[in-house]
Amino acid sequence: MGWKNFIGFLFLIVCIHSVSAQERGVVQVTKDPQIDSLIAKRLALSKNNRLGSSIEISGFRVQIFSGLERQLAYAEQAKFKIRFPAYNVYISYLQPNYRVRVGDFRTRLEAEKFMNELKRVYSSMFIFSETIILQ
């Protein structure tokens, strides 16, 4: 047996010994403590949503009216509610205009589809990205 073979054999024995010296069946998990709090928040939101409360997320609404007169905005809201009772209607004021926006759409595509339905009633509409309410 030459020196090279002896050194190779010695190296093999050292490797086998180091592998067998490792602990088996023990897993150590290291995680950020905020993970548990995020999981708890997610579970709470999920539970609240099942109980009928709402969640606010980023989404889209269709604006059907913008004008200077408050009475016209509220009249437009009432008309829309009669025609489309299943959709939420929101009035906001950004000086100098009142705006009436409708729907709580998760995607722009959903908002565009609804806007196509509204074309027979409203001539001027726009889609806006904003916080919506999921129920």
Sheet holding 89-94, edge to edge: 89-94, 97-105, 55-67, 126-134
pLDDT at 31: 75
Element of type H or E holding 47 = helix 34-50
pLDDT at 19: 53
Over residues 12-36, the mean pLDDT reads 68
pLDDT at 82: 94
CATH number at residue 62: 3.30.70.1070
What is the domain extent for residue 114? 55-134
The verdict on pTM exceeding 0.85 is: no
Judge contact between 81 and 25, C-beta under 8 A.
Answer: no
In a domain, 15, yes or no: no
- Higher-confidence residue: 133 or 106? 106
Question: CA 131 to CA 117: how far, in whole Å?
Answer: 22
Q: Structural domain tally of the chain?
A: 1
In a domain, 43, yes or no: no
Q: Residue 32 — very low, low, confident or very high, per pLDDT cuts 50/70/90?
A: confident
pLDDT at 34: 78
- Higher-confidence residue: 100 or 31? 100
Question: CA 43 to CA 37: how far, in whole Å?
Answer: 10
In a domain, 73, yes or no: yes
In a domain, 36, yes or no: no
pLDDT per residue over 40-69, tens digit each?
777 776 665 555 567 888 999 999 999 999
Give which of 128, 112, 118, 125 is closest to 58, Cα–Cα: 128
pLDDT per residue over 73-129, tens digit each?
999 999 999 999 999 999 999 999 999 999 999 999 999 999 999 999 888 899 999
